[in-house]
Structures are given as structure tokens and as C-alpha cells.
């Protein structure tokens, strides 16, 4: 197979894969008697057409950045961490415990504590499969999947038996106090101006107190932490001894031993870091949005992270872009459910197609492009 030029590999392959996914999504829509163009318009308008839409898209993207980064850290170490979902649930538990029992006078201090707790809980949940892999050779893919189920069961037990407030029927914790709520985009000075409400005449809508009122969106300061995390993971993997060792181990385990890199240490550290980043996602959804711990708080973001990492070519920048794409699919899919008769489940189909074409069938696109870039093709073109 011809090696593609870098620009084609990085830009052309994902774009063509996406177009293919869109093409097949259109066929599915036609098959259920819906208009693909209308669906696309609704999705784009709903997710990207307004500051309000972006406020949701970026909220979802923030979660996916964390779980995507988690997958790539482990993957560079040659470990396939499927357990992001469970690690994110445990991270949520850590966040909830801090917010419920250790609230600080200022939200930023609580946030620091909550981040620490999320990373420790998520990391610890990943540490057990890591240990089993490093010491017992139990395959990490199997054990991390099993730990997702264990995490789900554990969360139900804790929510129902321990954290559920008296008298509540909901398997959920009590609501966090207002003091620990994270600033949303509509609370942040300057940024909030994008979310001002206007009335039909185009004049500012004022609240009862005479101040302008804002559209409420779930995107919050965690988004900026996610951006910082991308930079951090990039520095970690390509600029530190630890990153060097993780990548060397991931490429050639045998050679890593020759260089004196301990496989036990790398498996443990890479997985704990991976679990910590999965756990960190909880500050976005649990602390930033729900403001209490719900059952199934991760909502599948742990699994989306795998697709995001695949599509992002295991690079933090790619993860960021892919996370925004999946945020668009999530929010756009929700708009479909609200504004059209297309069932909301269609977004699962869309995600499936995107994952199929960008992840699994990506080699097919590469082969087709390879033919275009092959010297023989260039010669044939020159001769014609």
C-alpha cells in the first residue's frame, strides 16, 4: 500500500470517512421516509447555529475530551482501556463526596479538591485491572469491561443505600449546595454576552431585578480545564521521561525491558493516569451540570472516548477535534428528537456510522487514497 503524504493522512482520510458516514446516514434517513437535508439543517442549526447550541455541543465535547485523552494515554502504552465508563462513574463518586461533605468557601477550592478526588477514584478503579494485567497476565480489555459492570452495580448500591437522602425515591444523591456550583458559560463575564436573551423586537430582555437575563447552557469552566488537559497530555507523552517510557513500552515491550524500563511500573502508571483522566470527566457532568450524583452519570461518554481516540489518531489535538465532532452529533441528534419526527435514537445510528467509517473502515479509505497517490497512477496520468 502506498504511504500517504502527511496532509492526506491527517486531513483527507477523516474528511472522506465522515462524508461516507454522512452518505450512509442519508440512505438510512431516506429509508425511514425522512429528508436528509432537513435532518442535516436541523442538526447544524441545533448544535452549531447559535451560542446556545454551542453551549451544549461544547459541554458534551468536554466530557469526550477527558475520556478520549484517557484512552490515548493507555493506548500509547499498548493498553486498550475499555473501562472509561466505570472509571468516570467512580470519578463522579469522588466529586460527589467532596461536594457533599467537604464544600469549601469558594467554588474554585472545591473544584481543586473535586478534581483530586475524581482522579484518585478513577485512577484507583483502573489500578485493579492494571495490577491484574501486570502481575497475573489477565487481559486488560476483559478486566476493564468487567469493571464497568462492577462500577455500575456499586454505584446503585451506594446511591440507594448510602447517598440517597431520606424520603427520596430517586437513586441519586442530595443536591449539592449552590456554593459549590461551577460557573457556566452564561455566568462568565464577557463570554456571557453571547448568551443574552432578546425579545421579539431585538431588545434586551431584562429580568425582574432589572438586569439582563441569559440563556442557560451546561458548558462550564471545565471546558478550559479540558483544553489544558490536552496540552498537558501532549507534554506528558512527548516531553517527559514517563511519556517516553510509556510510548517505548507500547511500541515494543521487549525492547523496553532492554532499556531498563519496568513493565510493571509502566502498566500501572499508564492505566492509573488513564483512569484518572476518565474520572476527571465527572467534574464536567456531576459538578458542572447535574449538581448531584445520578445513577449512570457517565452516560456512555466512556465508550465515546474510544471512538474519539480512534478518530483523533491518538493525538491530543485530534482528540479535541473529534470530541467536538461527537459533541455536535450528540447535540444535533437531540435537536432532531425535539424539532422533527425523527426519533432521537437516530443519533446512535449516526455515531455508529461515524465510528464505523472513521475507525473500522478507515483502512479502506486509506487504500483508495493510496491508489490515487501511487506513483503508477501518477505515471498513467502523465502519459494520458
Partner 1 sequence: MPNAIPAIELKGISKSFGPVQANRDINISVPKGTIHGIIGENGAGKSTLMSILYGFYKADAGEILINGTLTAIPDSQSAIRAGIGMVFQHFKLVQNFTVLENVILGVEDGPLLKSSLSKARRVLADLSREYELDVNPDALIEDLSVGHQQRVEILKALYRQADILILDEPTGVLTPDEADHLFRILKGLKDQGKTIILITHKLREIMEATDNVSVMRRGTMVGNVKTAETSPEQLAELMVGRKVLLEVEKGTATPGEIVLKVENLRVRDEAGVERLKGISFELRKGEILGIAGVAGNGQSELLAALGGIHAASGRVTFKGGDLPLTGAGANGRARRDAGIGHIPEDRQSLGLIMDFTAWENMAFGYHTLPKYQKNLFEMDNNAIRQDTEAKMAMYDVRPPIPTLAAKNFSGGNQQKIVVAREIESDPEVLLVGQPTRGVDIGAIEFIHKEIIALRDAGKAILLVSVELDEILSLSDRIAVMFDGQIMGFKDPENTNERELGLLMAGVSGGAAK
The contact set with partner 1 (CB under 8 A) reads 2-3, 235, 238-241, 244-245, 247-248, 251-252, 254-255, 257-262, 374-376
Provide, rounded to whole angstroms, the least separation between the CB of residue 306 and partner 1.
Answer: 22
Instruction: Supply the minimum distance, in Å, between the C-beta of residue 266 and partner 1.
Output: 13
Q: Which helix (H) or strand (E) holds 262?
A: none
The CA-atom distances, in angstroms, between 204 and each of 185, 189, 200 are 18, 17, 10
Q: Which is nearer to partner 1, 168 or 252 (CB)?
A: 252
- For partner 1, the closer of residues 227 and 261 by Cβ is 261
Min separation Cβ 250 and partner 1, Å: 9
Q: What is the 3-state secondary structure (H, E, C) of 69-100?
A: HHHHHHHHCCCCCCCHHHHHHHHHHHHHHHHH
The count of other CB atoms within 10 Å of the CB of residue 323 is 32
CB of 11 or CB of 255, closer to partner 1: 255
Q: Which is nearer to partner 1, 139 or 377 (CB)?
A: 377
Question: Nearest to residue 42, comparing CAs of 337, 321, 355?
Answer: 337
Question: Measured from the CB of residue 119, what is the shortest distance to partner 1 in angstroms?
Answer: 17
Q: Which value, to the nearest 10 degrees, does the dihedral of the CA atoms of residues 233, 237, 238, 239 take?
A: 80
Give the C-alpha separation, 316 to 63, whole Å: 14
Whole-angstrom distance, CA of residue 295 vs CA of residue 131 = 27
Residue with Cβ nearer partner 1 (108 or 252): 252
Beta carbon nearer to partner 1, 121 or 249: 249
Question: Closest by alpha carbon to 59, among 300, 309, 330?
Answer: 330
Shortest separation between residue 244's beta carbon and partner 1, angstroms: 5
Cβ 277 to partner 1 shortest distance, Å: 18
Of 117 and 229, nearer to partner 1 (C-beta) is 229
Q: How far does CA 41 lie from the centroid of its chain?
A: 24
Q: Which residue has the cell 427520596?
A: 168
Q: How far is the CB of 375 from partner 1 (least distance, A)?
A: 6
CA distances from 68 to 34, 197, 324 (A): 32, 34, 11
326-355 burial by CB neighbour count: b if 16+ within 10 A, else e? bbbbbbbbbbbbeebebeeebbebbbebbb
Q: Cβ 5 to partner 1, closest distance in Å?
A: 11
Grouping H, G, I as helix, E, B as strand and the rest as coil, residue 357 is: helix
Q: Which is nearer to partner 1, 27 or 378 (CB)?
A: 378
Q: Which of 139, 251 has the CB closer to partner 1?
A: 251
> Closest separation between CB of residue 242 and partner 1, Å?
9
Amino acid at each position: 500500500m502506498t504511504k500517504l503524504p502527511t496532509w492526506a493522512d491527517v486531513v483527507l482520510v477523516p474528511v472522506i470517512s465522515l462524508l461516507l458516514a454522512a452518505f450512509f446516514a442519508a440512505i438510512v434517513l431516506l429509508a425511514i421516509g425522512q429528508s436528509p437535508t432537513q435532518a442535516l439543517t436541523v442538526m447544524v442549526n441545533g448544535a452549531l447555529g447559535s451560542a446556545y447550541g454551542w453551549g451544549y455541543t461544547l459541554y458534551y465535547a468536554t466530557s469526550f475530551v477527558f475520556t478520549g485523552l484517557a484512552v490515548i494515554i493507555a493506548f500509547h502504552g499498548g493498553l486498550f482501556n475499555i473501562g472509561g465508563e466505570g472509571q468516570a462513574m467512580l470519578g463522579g463518586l469522588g466529586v460527589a463526596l467532596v461536594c457533599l461533605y467537604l464544600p469549601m468557601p469558594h467554588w474554585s477550592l472545591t473544584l481543586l479538591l473535586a478534581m483530586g478526588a475524581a482522579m484518585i477514584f478513577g485512577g484507583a478503579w483502573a489500578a485493579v485491572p492494571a495490577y491484574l494485567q501486570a502481575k497475573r497476565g489477565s487481559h486488560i480489555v476483559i478486566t476493564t469491561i468487567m469493571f464497568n459492570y462492577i462500577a455500575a452495580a456499586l454505584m446503585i448500591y451506594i446511591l440507594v443505600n448510602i447517598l440517597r437522602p431520606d424520603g427520596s425515591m430517586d437513586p441519586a444523591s442530595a443536591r449539592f449546595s449552590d456554593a459549590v456550583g461551577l460557573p457556566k458559560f452564561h455566568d462568565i463575564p464577557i463570554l456571557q454576552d453571547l448568551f443574552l436573551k432578546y425579545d421579539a423586537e431585538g431588545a434586551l430582555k431584562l429580568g425582574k431585578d432589572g438586569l439582563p437575563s441569559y440563556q442557560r447552557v451546561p458548558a462550564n469552566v471545565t471546558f478550559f480545564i479540558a483544553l489544558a488537559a490536552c496540552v498537558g497530555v501532549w507534554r506528558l507523552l512527548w516531553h517527559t521521561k514517563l511519556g517516553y517510557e510509556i510510548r517505548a513500552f507500547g511500541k515494543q515491550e521487549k525492547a523496553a525491558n532492554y532499556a531498563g524500563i519496568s513493565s510493571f511500573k509502566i502498566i500501572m502508571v499508564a492505566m492509573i493516569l488513564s483512569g484518572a483522566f476518565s474520572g476527571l470527566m465527572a467534574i464536567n457532568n456531576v459538578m458542572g451540570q447535574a449538581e448531584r450524583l445520578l445513577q449512570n452519570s457517565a452516560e456512555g461518554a466512556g465508550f465515546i472516548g474510544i471512538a474519539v481516540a480512534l478518530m483523533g489518531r491518538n493525538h491530543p489535538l485530534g482528540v479535541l477535534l473529534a470530541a467536538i465532532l461527537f459533541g455536535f452529533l450528540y447535540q444535533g441528534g437531540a435537536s432532531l428528537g425535539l424539532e422533527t419526527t425523527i426519533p432521537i435514537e437516530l443519533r446512535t445510528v449516526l455515531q455508529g456510522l461515524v465510528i464505523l467509517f472513521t475507525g473500522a473502515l478507515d483502512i479502506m479509505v486509506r487504500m483508495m487514497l493510496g491508489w490515487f497517490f501511487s506513483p503508477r497512477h501518477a505515471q498513467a496520468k502523465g502519459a494520458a
